[in-house]
Chains A and B, each alone.
Chain A
Amino acid sequence: MDITSWQFLALIAVTLTVYILLPQKYRWTALLAASIVFYAAGGAAAMAYLLVTSVTTYFCARCIDALAAKRANLDAAEKKATRPAFDRKRHILVAAACLINFGMLFAVKYFDGVIALVTHGQGPALGLIVPVGISFYIFQSVGYVIDVSRGKARAERNYLKYLLFVSFFPQMVQGPIDRFGHLHPQLMEGRRPTADNARDGIQLMMWGFFKKLVIAGRAGTVVNAIYSDAGAYPGSAIAFAVLMYTIELYCDFSGGIDIVRGTAEIFGIDMAENFKRPFFATSLAEFWRRWHITLGAWMRDYVFYPLSLSRAFAAIGRFSRKHINGTVGRILPTSLATFIIYFIIGIWHGANLTYLAYGFYNGGIITLSIILAPFYGRVRKALRVNEESGLYRAFCVVRTFFVVFVGRYFVRAPWLKMSFVMLKRTVCDFYISALWPTVTGLGMTLSDLAVVLAGFAVILAFELIEERGVNIRESLAKRGFFVQWAAMVLPLLVILLLGVLGGGGGGEFIYGRI
């Protein structure tokens, strides 16, 4: 079910009515029923994958919890004595949950791509359809098992209550990847939603609809054609398409998340934030702390920390300190772990060499920037750069945008060679005069471009205000009745006129099949 469809709005309305009418203790059942209806609309196969994940992670977490409960009544000496056996068993159970679920994800998402790559398209293919949101709910469920294993959460005893945590319907398209300790208590609480929840939720959803329907759809007009056959277009049109894709991706992904979080907010549920004004980041590392925050936090807590503190990395650290002098020797293991994380994030996006290159690109730049940080510090000092000045910050923001922009040459191209063709043509065959005829020839009108650029400028303007410490929603809530209604009606008119009726875009989300 498309979250920009009328059916989705109807599902919210029906679920909300039932949710409010039910006694508080049973309200979660309304959310579970809506989640099953939402996901069942995707077909029986999609439901089967969801059941495998929910059942396996449920049992692994329950087993770990039972093992921990057995030790709870032991005295300190007995606890110490039984610790190695307990650790071994809980690690086996976590490994089992990971193997089953990431194995399933590999079969669905990567197997055909890897076989095609290795056999040059001659090998067998499973031909499995990637269910919507499978990466997101698998990451969320495996994170839950690890949290139980680390003692940060108690396992849920009621399978149906746990199934709601895994399948809560707004998050099933593209996340966010929430934590059990944050989301589950809110789902179970069943607090009666307030009028403020409804107002805030609807406003956030409309912001999302504006990004997705008005901007992303229009920006994507030229993207498909140019990325799939870049050799046929001048460099200026290619650079334009990459810029449009950069805008499309942000508006599509963050707009979808706004719709998801807004939906949850209507029910009085606060889901994890996934974006924090990424285009105001002053470095690529900071960009990744502001973009897809929940995936970054998942990678940090469940991969980066364990990897960095593993015995293997401790050995690498001892070796590098002994054989490489200075800062490089000291920070080499951390830099290596950072590189691996960005490499994994690249692969997470899909089974294609372009994503591997994307991982290398991000990991390489961030790793180099860690290693070269002391050198940059000396250069800034020698040039007497005032790091606190607005001008220097603006320079860093523009520099980061450029680095992100170049990365987009890799992430969207159909194959790796095409990314390099696009880069080469951008530099060597720019031909600015050929830009507009090419763009209009591909169906983008001047009014479409004006809507995209003006809409994106509005988004950046609002984000700039928030970047300066103003909470726009809180400020709006303090205003009078007329202003609050205007803030509802005006965006609605823009969405209806420029999105629903005016040739904007709806349909599938880019991250929906990741």
Chain B
Amino acid sequence: MEKLLEILKTVCPDVDFETETDLVEDGILTSLDIVMIVSELMASYDIRIDVDDLMPENFKSAETILELVKRAEEN
């Protein structure tokens, strides 16, 4: 989680990923932020995230993003 939070902070320094629980619905993350986060995750973890995974529920919080990364690592 620490590595993920560090990455997320690099991309969106103004977002409080530790406490926010509905990043998309609350309008905190835009589509641009999501793509930049995904690009960063793919480069840092050497994983492949598919366009079908770009669903709001996968980007609700740091926890859901971590789950997405774990699923991508397993695949």
Contact = CB atoms under 8 A, between A and B. Distances in A.
Interface of A: 150-151, 285, 289, 300-301, 304-306, 308-309, 314, 317-318, 321, 330-331, 333-334, 337-338, 370
A309 B50 contact: yes
A285 B32 contact: yes
B59 to A, nearest CB: 12
B43 A334 contact: no
Interface in B10-46: 30-32, 35-36, 38-40, 42-43
Contacts of B5: none
Contacts of A330: 36, 39-40
Contacts of B1: none
Contacts of B30: 285, 289
B43 A321 contact: yes
Contacts of B51: 150, 305-306, 309
Contact of B36 (A306, A314, A331): A331
A337 B43 contact: no
Given A306-B51, A334-B32, 17 more contacts: A150-B52, A285-B30, A300-B31, A304-B31, A305-B31, A305-B35, A308-B38, A309-B35, A309-B49, A314-B42, A317-B43, A330-B40, A331-B36, A333-B39, A334-B39, A338-B32, A370-B32
A305 B39 CA distance: 11
Contacts of A308: 35, 38-39
The 8 nearest A-B residue pairs measured at CB: A308-B35, A300-B31, A306-B51, A305-B51, A305-B54, A334-B36, A334-B35, A150-B52
A179 to B, nearest CB: 13
Contacts of B36: 330-331, 334
Contacts of A306: 51
A309 B39 CA distance: 7
Nearest to B31: A300
B48 to A, nearest CB: 9
A114 to B, nearest CB: 30
Contacts of A301: 54
Nearest to B13: A377
A337 B38 CA distance: 14
20 contacts: A285-B30, A285-B32, A300-B31, A304-B31, A305-B35, A305-B54, A306-B51, A308-B38, A309-B35, A309-B39, A309-B42, A309-B50, A309-B54, A317-B39, A321-B43, A330-B36, A330-B40, A333-B39, A334-B35, A338-B32
A351 to B, nearest CB: 27
B35 A337 contact: yes
Contacts of B54: 301, 305, 309
A151 B35 CA distance: 21
A330 B52 CA distance: 23
Contacts of B42: 309, 314
B38 A309 contact: yes
Nearest to A318: B43
A374 B63 CA distance: 27
A148 to B, nearest CB: 13
Nearest to A337: B35
B69 to A, nearest CB: 15
A95 to B, nearest CB: 15
Contacts of A331: 36
A334 B12 CA distance: 14
A417 to B, nearest CB: 33
Contacts of A337: 35
B75 to A, nearest CB: 10
- The listed residue with most A CB atoms (<10 A of its CB), out of B38, B51, B52, is B51
Given A285-B30, A289-B30, A309-B51, A304 B43 contact: no
A477 to B, nearest CB: 25
A306 to B, nearest CB: 5
Nearest to A332: B39
Nearest to B39: A317
Contacts of B49: 309
B45 to A, nearest CB: 13
Contacts of A300: 31
Contacts of A285: 30, 32
A370 B39 CA distance: 15
Nearest to A152: B52
